[in-house]
Amino acid sequence: MRVADQYLAFVNGVPESKIALTDRGFQYGDGIFTTLPVIREQPVLLGRHIARLQRDCARLSISFPDEHVLRREIETICRQSSDSVLKIMLTRGSGGRGYRPPLPGATTRVLTTHPLPNYPEAYRQTGIRLARSEINLAINPVLAGIKHMNRLEQILARSACSDPDIQEILMLDVEDYVVEAGMSNIFAVRDKLLQTPLLDRCGVSGVMRAHVIDIAQAMGLRVEETRMRVESIQQAEEVFLTNSLFPIWPVRCFESRRYDSWPVTRLLLDSMPEWRF
């Protein structure tokens, strides 16, 4: 069913815009999701997104649905919404009151499409402004890397930043290590070494982050996942952000630090022609 003129929604393979009030995704944020662009009916990097969903389901002991069924539903909704954003949500399904999951559980599959974001081309060409968030991320290795449905830390962080000239926010953990940006992962470049925060204690392991790491290594660039302080961002020659919908934004300004050129960032961005939309 069309939620609005440019939106579609499927629940468990059926055109529908409602889920049960007892669904644990609604009740507790007990689920995972991923978001990706659809270009000319083709979901970009779908295999990587499905692999991430499978890993996250396994870590949370959520039953992963039949992959052939899920792919068929994705193909169907993409044919009806050619150039769009596809969001795939998997929840633990319905259950009674209380935290203990029902056994056996029946995973709920929700697919929705949305208009592609209309980001200014200047973000990609001349970079964005990055500011430090007032909200720090809690350390919880059990959930580290998972794109689960509870995004309250990111919501609070974004709400606390009211400056319209700030496009993204840098998020640290409670020990003041760099983790990620509000809706993206972060890389710092120095002497052709790409550094990105280690995500073993908190943060989201993004699909585009993994894709960029693979591309960089195939180009012969060194990549290091490591603990990073704010000084690593301030002292870098280049800083860029990754997200499946950008896919790469150079950072032109972080606090008082300005970055004037991004040769490595440009090299990576030029290797992704499929994102020219």
Task: Please state whether 220 falls in left (phi above 0), alpha (psi between -120 and 50) or beta.
Answer: left
CA distances from 273 to 44, 99, 122, 219, 251 (A): 11, 45, 17, 16, 20
Mean pLDDT of 39-60: 96
Cα–Cα distance for residue pair 190/67, rounded to 1 Å: 41
Integer-rounded Cα radius of gyration of the chain: 19
CATH fit for domain 2-114, picks 3.30.750.24, 3.20.20.70, 3.30.750.80, 3.30.470.10: 3.30.470.10
Q: Where are the domains of the chain?
A: 2-114, 121-275
For 41, which DSSP code? T
Token representation of residue 197: 């925060």
Cα–Cα distance for residue pair 196/179, rounded to 1 Å: 8
Question: Would you call 213 helix, strand, or coil by DSSP?
Answer: helix
Q: What is the secondary structure of 54-92 as a DSSP string?
A: HHHHHHHTPPPPPHHHHHHHHHHHHHHSSSEEEEEEEE-
Report whether pLDDT(4) > 50: no
pLDDT at res. 2? 41
Token representation of residue 265: 């960032």
Cβ atoms of residues 206 and 179 within 8 Å: no
Query: In the chain, how many H helices and how many E strands?
Result: 8, 16
Instruction: Tell me the CA end-to-end span of the chain in Å, nearest whole number.
Output: 26
φ/ψ (deg, to 5) at 26: -75, -45
Catalytic residue among 35, 91, 107, 196: 35
ω before 37 within 30° of 0 (cis)? no
pLDDT at res. 272? 85
Give me the torsion for CA of 225, 231, 234, 237, rounded to 10°.
Answer: -50
Token representation of residue 220: 């012969």
Tell me: the pLDDT tens digits for 103-158?
877 999 999 999 999 999 999 999 999 999 999 999 999 999 999 999 999 999 99
Cβ atoms of residues 163 and 169 within 8 Å: no
Report whether pLDDT(274) > 90: no
CA distances from 246 to 90, 198, 203, 229 (A): 24, 22, 19, 25
Catalytic residue among 73, 108, 113, 147: 147
Report whether pLDDT(25) > 80: yes
Confidence of residue 27 (pLDDT cuts 50, 70, 90): very high
Burial of 121 (0-12, 13-18, 19+ CB in 10 A): exposed
- The superfamily in CATH containing domain 121-275 is D-amino Acid Aminotransferase, subunit A, domain 2 (3.20.10.10)
pLDDT at res. 178? 98
Query: Which residues are 189's β-sheet partners?
Result: 194, 238
Listed ranges 5-19, 92-106, 131-145; the one with the highest mean pLDDT: 131-145
Tell me: the pLDDT tens digits for 204-262?
999 999 999 999 999 999 999 999 999 999 999 999 999 999 999 999 999 999 999 99
Mean pLDDT of 20-40: 95
Catalytic residue among 73, 168, 180, 238: 180
**Which of 238, 247, 260 is closest to 211 using CA atoms?**
247
Mean pLDDT of 179-198: 97
pLDDT at res. 277? 53
Q: Is 180 labeled as catalytic in the residue annotation?
A: yes
Q: Is 107 labeled as catalytic in the residue annotation?
A: no
